[in-house]
């Protein structure tokens, strides 16, 4: 009975050594680094917040406005 227990433990230990990752190897599915935070802007017409790289720019004499769509850019900033 002890003989089978020892053989089972030996088999489990060998399986563990076989499956253990080797030192210096890199896994193929290495997790990607976290994305860098992006600045958020608000649509001047509807107030929707979106990343600055997805916003459309609108020009006005007092500065730059951001818009979420072409329709809102054409409509202009909302009167507050």
Is the residue at 12 inside a domain? no
Is the residue at 56 inside a domain? yes
pLDDT band at 20 (very low <50, low <70, confident <90, very high): confident
Compute the distance between CA of residue 39 and CA of residue 74 in angstroms, rounded to an integer.
24
pLDDT digits (tens, 9 = 90+) for 46-70: 999 999 999 999 877 777 889 999 9
Q: Are 44 and 67 in contact (CB under 8 A)?
A: yes
Is the residue at 63 inside a domain? yes
Q: How many domains does the chain have?
A: 1
Q: Are 41 and 50 in contact (CB under 8 A)?
A: yes
Structural domain range at position 44: 39-80
Q: In 3D, which of 54, 51, 46 has the Cα closest to residue 78?
A: 46
Q: Are 52 and 70 in contact (CB under 8 A)?
A: no
Q: Kindly tell me if the per-residue pLDDT of 27 is higher than 70.
A: no
């Amino acid at each position: 009975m002890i003989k089978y227990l020892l053989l089972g433990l030996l088999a489990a230990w060998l399986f563990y050594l076989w499956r253990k990752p080797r030192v210096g190897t890199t896994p193929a599915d290495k997790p990607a680094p976290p994305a860098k935070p992006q600045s958020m802007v608000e649509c001047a017409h509807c107030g929707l917040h979106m990343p600055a790289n997805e916003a459309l720019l609108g020009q006005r004499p007092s500065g730059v406005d951001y818009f979420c769509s072409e329709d809102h850019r054409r409509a202009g900033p909302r009167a507050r």
